[in-house]
Amino acid sequence: MSEQLSGALQEADERDLRRAARALLRRPLLLARDDPETFRVVRQQATALRDWFEQNTGWRLHVDAEVARLFKRAGVAPEGTHPAREPRSGLAFGRRRYVLVCLALSVLERADQQITLGRLAEGIIVAASDERLAAAGVTFELDGRAERGDLVAVVRILLELGVLARVAGDEEAFMRDAGDVLYDVERRVMAVLISAVRGPSTITAESFAERLEALVAESEPASAELRNRATRQRLMRSLLDEPVLYYNELSEAELAYLNAQRALLTGRAGELTGLLPEIRAEGIAMVDRRDELTDVRMPEIGTDGHVALLISEELAAHDGAVTIGELRALVRRLAQEHRSYWRGDTREPGAEAGLVEHALERLVALRLVRREGDHVRPLPALGRFGLDTPTLTQGQGTLA
């Protein structure tokens, strides 16, 4: 084999490895039926991907003929900034919908290969009658449109995940009590759905915070070598999975390791994924030039995206915190300034509250701001959205 051909084959293999890695980072639960060509590449690169993720992040990769599952673990403590959302409306799940997801999975675990939405609802009603749920204030009797809406939202997210596959019918007809829906139950997907260090049923802690922490808690490494490996993996998870890695949030040992190994860590992450490191005095962000590896975009088109961008510019101009009231007053004024471009309902009385809330959800999720009660404090990465007066070096001429 000629050296030129060998180099071309290696380049093609590296391209496929990067494509497969990006696909799994974008969608850690990947189904063959959703994207057969990408899934084929993931299967071909499974061994290399499995070794890379295990060594550098501690994430486990499962690949079979139908499902690829990257069992990711957070690099930082869960913050509740990326909730499950109803696929059509984008509305975040509340407490009852999360409970219904768990109950639905428990019903599907015992179901036949196919199930109707009506039968699934019956099973959830029975499961929800547990007195412990009632004591916790969670009830479900499929009574009224609101509860039907909750059930349909849960089914839609299970469809999006691939736990269910629609065979016949339509959820909108079920909402109107005018029809039923038939689904296939995808057991291979259910078997790899939960990503946790330990099974939820083995956790005995009482409070929600303690139970959540126990789901992701890892055992303490026994040797210096293992401690270094664990530190490297935590840092790499943050680089790959978090919008920004801030130095002041790291432990002393993590910061020391990062200072010594920063080029190696960012180089490895970039080589696999194509992400570029943006290194600043306060931290590191791995930037995707193709804008694919994110579930929250900034900036984004539309009224809500424009509001978020303008609020960002305002916050970036402040050194300290700004009150929610001040941001609402700003948006009320902006709604009049941009009345020709923004949705008509943005000028309705009280609309500014929803616009500000939506914008802050985005900015908090991107780790650009932090909410502190009734105040919002800008974080360093928000500076990239700030406006400043341009400066010219000698010989550049003038600005028009």
Predicted confidence (pLDDT) per residue in 120-146, tens digit? 999 999 999 998 888 888 889 988 888
Is 275 inside any structural domain? yes
- Supply the pTM of this predicted model: 0.87
pLDDT at 396: 45
Co-location of 38 and 78 in the same domain: no
Predicted confidence (pLDDT) per residue in 239-257, tens digit? 999 999 999 999 999 999 9
Q: Is the pLDDT score of 78 beyond 60?
A: no
Co-location of 142 and 205 in the same domain: yes
Q: Is the pLDDT score of 387 beyond 90?
A: no
Co-location of 82 and 50 in the same domain: no
Q: Out of 36, 71, 106, pick the residue that ends a domain.
A: 71
pLDDT at 325: 96
pLDDT at 61: 97
Is 148 inside any structural domain? yes
By the 10 Å C-beta count (0-12 exposed, 13-18 middle, 19+ buried), 116 is classed as: middle
Co-location of 146 and 205 in the same domain: yes
Mean pLDDT of 58-69: 96
Looking at the chain, the whole-number percentage of residues with pLDDT higher than 90 is: 69
Looking at the chain, the whole-number percentage of residues with pLDDT higher than 70 is: 92
First to last CA, the chain: 59
Predicted confidence (pLDDT) per residue in 28-37, tens digit? 999 999 999 9
Least confident of 161-165, 196-200, 339-343, 372-376: 196-200
Is 338 inside any structural domain? yes
Co-location of 81 and 41 in the same domain: no
pLDDT at 212: 79
Mean pLDDT of 48-77: 90
Residue span of the structural domain in which 109 resides: 74-217
Q: 166 or 77, which is more confident?
A: 166
Q: Please report which confidence band the pLDDT of residue 2 belongs to, taking 50, 70 and 90 as the band edges.
A: low
Contact 298, 382 (CB under 8 A): no
